[in-house]
């Protein structure tokens, strides 16, 4: 920190609930694979049928890899957000660091804070995470995905900004 008296009041965390989407796609790919093998199993009531088996195998080799690759891409994105996003609130400013290859650092002094928006979808409301959009004077703007307890964070930031403006 620049000022020796400056200390971190709190650190915002990224929610682990973001891992639900990649997990869903991995389970979907395993389910499609198991379902296709069950459908291909010949029983006395279900004799082998070349056309049906070809359609099932074709679907298996198209659908299962699609869901699996979608899960891999989603997992890579979530891991990048989870491991490289750091949000700190001090008594003087908001410091946010994101990125691995392309590092981005955002600093907004609390008196220059203009607005904070919280966006939550259905999963975000269920698992209490969301997107935090912070805007400062002069066009400074930051968007942070998957923030744990975003409404609580928004209230804390607003309170810290009020204390800073009042000189406490």
CATH class of 1-168: mainly beta
Q: Is the distance from CB of 144 to CB of 131 less than 8 angstroms? A: yes
Domain ranges (residues) in the chain: 1-168
**pLDDT value of position 33:** 80
pLDDT at 46 over 90: no
Q: What is the pLDDT of residues 126-146, one digit of tens each?
A: 999 999 999 988 888 888 889
pLDDT at 38 over 80: no
Greater model confidence, 72 or 35 = 72
pLDDT at 53 over 80: no
Nearest to 112 by CA among 167, 164, 166, 168: 164
Q: What is the pLDDT of residues 86-129, one digit of tens each?
A: 999 888 889 999 888 888 899 999 888 899 999 999 999 999 99
pLDDT at 80 over 60: yes
């Amino acid at each position: 920190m620049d000022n020796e008296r400056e200390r971190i009041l709190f650190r915002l965390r990224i929610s682990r609930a973001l891992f639900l989407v990649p997990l869903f796609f991995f389970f979907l790919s395993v389910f499609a694979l198991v379902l296709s093998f069950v459908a291909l199993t010949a029983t006395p009531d279900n004799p082998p049928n070349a056309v049906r088996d070809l359609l099932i195998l074709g679907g298996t080799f198209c659908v299962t890899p699609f869901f699996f690759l979608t899960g891999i891409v989603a997992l890579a994105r979530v891991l990048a957000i989870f491991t490289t996003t750091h949000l700190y609130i001090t008594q003087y400013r908001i410091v946010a660091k994101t990125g691995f290859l392309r590092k981005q650092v955002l600093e907004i002094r609390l008196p220059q804070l203009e607005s904070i928006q919280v966006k939550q979808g259905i999963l975000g409301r269920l698992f209490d995470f969301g997107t935090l959009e912070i805007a400062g004077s002069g066009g400074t703007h930051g968007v942070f995905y998957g923030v744990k307890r975003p409404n609580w964070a928004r209230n804390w930031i607003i309170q810290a900004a009020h204390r800073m403006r009042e000189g406490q």
